[in-house]
Amino acid sequence: AEDGYDMWLRYQPVANDSLRQEYQSQFQQVIAEGNSQTIKIAASELQRGLSGLLKKTVAQTSNVNAMGVVIGTPANSKLIASLNLKKRLASVGDEGYLIQKSRIGNADQIVIAANTDVGVLYGSFHLLRLLQTEQSLNNISIASSPKLQYRVVNHWDNVNRLVERGYAGLSLWDWGTLPELKSPRYEDYARINASLGINGTVINNVNADPRLMSDQFLKKIATLAEVFRPYGIKLYLSINYNAPRAYGDLDTADPLDPRVQAWWKARAEKIYSYIPDFGGYLVKADSEGQPGPQGYGRNHADGANMLADTLKPFKGVVFWRAFVYHPDIGDRFRGAYDEFTPLDGKFKENVILQIKNGPIDFQPREPVSPLFGSLKKTNMMMEVQVTQEYFGFATHLAYQGPLFEEALKTDLLVKGKGSTLANILSGQLNKATNKNPRTGMAAVINPGTDRNWTGHPFVQSSWYAFGRMAWDYSLTSDAIADEWLRMTFSNQEKFIAPIKKIMMDSREAGVNYRSPLGLTHLYSQGDHYGPAPWTADMGRADWNAVYYHRAAEDGIGFNRTATGSNALAQYPAELAKQYADLNTVPEDLMLWFHHLPWDYKMKSGKTLWAELVDKYYSGVTQVRTMQTEWNKMEGQIDAERFAHVKALLAVQERDAVRWRDSCVVYFQSISKLPIPDGYEKPAHD
Ligand code: GCW
């Protein structure tokens, strides 16, 4: 039975007979010189993958007279060294690799060469992907290296194994049986990540439990680190800023207090005694009730730098989150920029600010965070969400590739055209002001004890997309969806074409039935699943839906222009101008920045009210189309996953109707305008 456990590493026999025969004659064996665990893992992954894909056993040998695949580094493999690849290898760096055809002795070999063992592992996964997606290997010559340095997944896992915003079972980390029991899932988890080039994992929730830094836990955590290490994955911990107090050692956590500094120094030494290549800390400070330096009259730079100093001797880093907002600032949108922009240039070189893609919180559509445009001397990485906190949990189909791509391609116009977020993240744009930046991308992922890791089988695709884009942000979400579908389901065109279309439309459908035209955060508070645009009694203004949509008799939307909160001024001037002008602001971001009358004329000729209604209805129509298209796939793929997705789409349709009706009827109670003719009546129950 197909239970989704293998994710995109299924290695089912290549269905195209002639291609399979071609591959069979090329891949008769695997030659791997070198004895590291990483090389052994790469070789056995190739064996396993090729044996499955080619439907025959592919053995490891040292016989150079048969055609096969030869893997290694010049340092550990005589065969690789003999190929004189030095120059080409110099261009791919520490984690990159070459894949090419080379004559060795009497046979043509596919060669995977790298400067490091982990590069060889990444190259091995790449080769398997080519076969899984049925690519021709004629004239193959690939040189690949990652465009970003820190490619990190974040878990919001609690010590009690509940996963905040996870929806796919309990935490993978079974604290009760570690370190004695190494669940085979730990290793499969590492394989899944390594197949994408992900090189870091923060294993616990940013709302952090200080106990994880105790000897009792570090012993267990060291075991996980040991499993991940040969896969090139560093382990990081989220820390609680008040840990020195939580442990009862001090009555302060003031970063400028020498006793606090000494406490963290000793703690770093302890952690590194367990995990010599520990990655570092992720910190949520002075955010949503978490402690931080501000509690002691200090700022984020004081807070981050103190930790950075204690990790520096061990080459550790601090990922310092910029997710901050306070109820008294008037416009939540402004929070991160206002706190962090004045600190530009104040952070140590081993601090990286981890900034959510948008200014609020992983909404179905957000403009990019203005911080990306204002910081010039600070290391930055973007944080995105794979787990679907605001996209229907593990119930709705909502491929996040298009959202990631939209953010990466947004041009912030900091220094004229071409100032894309991708060029900022890569360090290119600020080269003059930040010479040796640390770069990266992080994603909050949701795997748990569900057999298929992610709950909805299609949440896997967003994990996949994150990893691929963190390696190469120039890849399109469309190309990535294509790859993922082929590897995960089938290479049949009649499956790929319609289902890729579903994936590519799914994010926009989710926007349309929840919060179109730049509306945001209309969720029922706390759970963030269903609609509650009427919420007005949360105690904190910025936790109320009415705070975000500002619907009133005179219109709808949040005025962030100069006559409103002026948050627009946080963007580089050119972009601010574009968003401030009603003729140039993209309509799908319009109500993020403008409060407009209900009868405002849209580009379509419709009034704003009519357009809003139309968007809500079109979201439901899109989900129904997804259902129809999916239902046609019966028999094209395994019955289990077919039925699973089919059932979830039915739930999604029901939820989409509820979202549409709740929002349309609620906004109608304010606009007092009729629903235009031709739409089905909202259901009342
Ligand atoms: O999106 C919000 C979530 C919280 C989360 C917080 C954060 C981990 O609702 O559950 O806390 O963001 O990113 O810190």
Instruction: Give me the DSSP letters along 586-643.
Output: -GGGHHHH--B-TTPBPTTSSBHHHHHHHHHHHHHHHHHHHHHHHHTTTTTS-HHHHH
Biggest alpha carbon–alpha carbon distance for the chain: 82
pLDDT band at 56 (very low <50, low <70, confident <90, very high): very high
pLDDT tens digits along 91-121 = 999 999 999 999 998 999 999 999 999 999 9
Ligand 1 pocket test: pick from 207, 325, 444, 538 the residue with the most ligand atoms within 8 Å of its Cβ.
207
- 154 CA → ligand 1 middle, Å: 12
Ligand 1: centre distance to CA 518 (Å)? 21
**Does residue 330 share a domain with residue 364?**
yes
Mean pLDDT, residues 153-180 = 98
Q: Is residue 677 part of a domain?
A: no
Q: Do residues 139 and 157 share a domain?
A: no
Neighbours of 411 (CB within 10 A): 18
**CATH code for the domain in which residue 607 is found:** 3.90.1330.10
- Per-residue confidence at 33, pLDDT binned at 50, 70, 90? very high
The residue-averaged pLDDT of 522-539 equals 95
Q: Does position 327 have pLDDT exceeding 90, yes or no? A: no
* Percentage of the chain modeled with pLDDT above 70: 100
**Is pLDDT of 298 > 90?**
yes
Ligand 1, atom nearest to 165 Cα = 10
| Residue environment code for 309-347, b if the CB has 16+ CB neighbours within 10 A, otherwise e | bbbbebebbbbbbbbbbbeeeebbbbbbbbbbbebbebb
Residue 571 in domain: no
Task: Indicate whether 267 pLDDT > 90.
Answer: yes
For the purposes of burial, counting CB atoms within 10 Å of the CB of 592, is it exposed (0-12), middle (13-18) or buried (19 or more)?
buried
Range of the domain at 333: 150-487
One domain for residues 137 and 156: no
* Closest residue to atom 12 of ligand 1, CA basis: 361
The two structure tokens encoding residue 613: 């209604």
CATH (domain of 280):
3.20.20.80
Torsion of CA 281, 287, 288, 293, to 10 degrees: 90
Contact status, residue 437 vs residue 379, Cβ threshold 8 Å: yes
For the cut 60, the answer to whether the pLDDT of residue 129 exceeds it is: yes
Is pLDDT at 539 greater than 90 in this prediction? no
Question: Does residue 245 lie within any of the structural domains?
Answer: yes
Give the nearest ligand 1 atom to 528 CA: 9
Residue 328, pLDDT score: 86
630 Cα: distance to centroid of ligand 1 (angstroms): 33
Q: State pLDDT tens for residues 544-602.
A: 999 999 999 999 999 999 999 999 999 999 999 999 999 999 999 999 999 999 999 99
Mean pLDDT, to the nearest integer, of 70-88? 97
- For position 535, what pLDDT does the model report? 96
Q: Whose CA is nearest to atom 14 of ligand 1?
A: 206
Instruction: Looking at the structure, tell me whether residues 442 and 532 fall in a common domain.
Output: no
Closest atom, ligand 1, to C-alpha of 284: 14
**362 C-alpha to ligand 1 centroid (Å):** 9
Say yes or no: 96 and 187 in one domain.
no
Percent of the chain clearing pLDDT 90 (strictly above): 97
Residue of 103, 98, 104 whose CA lies nearest to 72? 98
Mean pLDDT of all residues belonging to the chain: 97
For residue 237, being part of any structural domain is answered with yes
Do residues 313 and 247 both lie within one domain? yes
SS (H, E, C) 242-308: CHHHHCCCCCCCCCCCHHHHHHHHHHHHHHHHHCCCCCEEEECCCCCCCCCHHHHCCCHHHHHHHHH
Least Cα distance to 84 among 66, 69, 65, 103 occurs for: 103
pLDDT, mean of residues 665-669: 97
Confidence category of residue 622, pLDDT binned at 50, 70, 90: very high
For residue 47, give the H/E element and its range: helix 37-54
Residues with CB under 6 A from ligand 1: 156, 164-165, 205-207, 284, 288, 323, 361-362, 389
> Which of 487, 504, 538 lies at the terminal end of a domain, its last residue?
487
What ligand 1 atom has the least distance to the C-alpha of 290?
14
Residues 100 and 186 in one domain: no
Q: Which residue matches tokens 């580089």?
A: 572
Q: How many domains does the chain have?
A: 3
Q: Is residue 161 part of a domain?
A: yes
Give the pLDDT of residue 684: 64
Record the tokens describing residue 132, joined without a space.
Answer: 């899984």
In DSSP terms, 112 is beta-bridged to 71, 99
pLDDT tops 70 at residue 685: no
Q: What is the mean pLDDT of residues 375-391?
A: 98
Lowest-confidence range among 184-188, 245-249, 372-376, 525-529?
A: 525-529
CATH of the domain at 109: 3.30.379.10
| The two three-digit tokens of residue 633, written as one number | 């796939």
Q: Of 144, 168, 199, which residue sits at a domain end?
A: 144
Does residue 107 sit in the same domain as residue 165? no
Q: Please give the distance, rounded to the nearest whole angstrom, from the Cα atom of residue 198 to the centre of ligand 1.
A: 22
Residue whose CA is at the smallest distance from ligand 1 atom 13: 323
**Same domain, residue pair 136 and 155:** no
Asked if 622 and 509 count as a contact pair (C-beta separation under 8 A), the reply is: yes
Cα dihedral sign for 579, 386, 320, 283? positive
Nearest in space to 8 (alpha carbons), one of 276, 188, 216, 227: 188
Residue nearest to atom 1 of ligand 1 (CA): 361
Interval 351-361 mean pLDDT: 98
Of ligand 1's listed atoms, the one at least distance from the Cα of 361 is 1
Between the CA of 443 and the centroid of ligand 1 the distance, in Å, is 13
Active site amino acids: 288, 361, 389
The predicted model gives 184-201 an average pLDDT of 98
Phi, psi of 409 (to 5 degrees): -90, -5
- Find the 324 Cα to ligand 1 centroid distance in Å: 11
**Residues 529, 635: one domain?**
yes
Residue 51 located in a structural domain: yes
Site to probe by mutation for ligand 1, drawn from 163, 165, 240 as the one with most ligand atoms within 8 Å of Cβ, is 165
Instruction: Please check whether residue 80 lies inside any domain of the structure.
Output: yes
Minimal-distance CA residue to ligand 1 atom 2: 361
Are 137 and 256 within one domain? no
* Secondary element (H or E) of residue 200: strand 200-202
Is 504 within a domain?
A: no
The stretch 272-281 carries a mean pLDDT of 98
Residue after which a domain boundary falls, among 105, 128, 144: 144
> 284 and 417: one domain?
yes
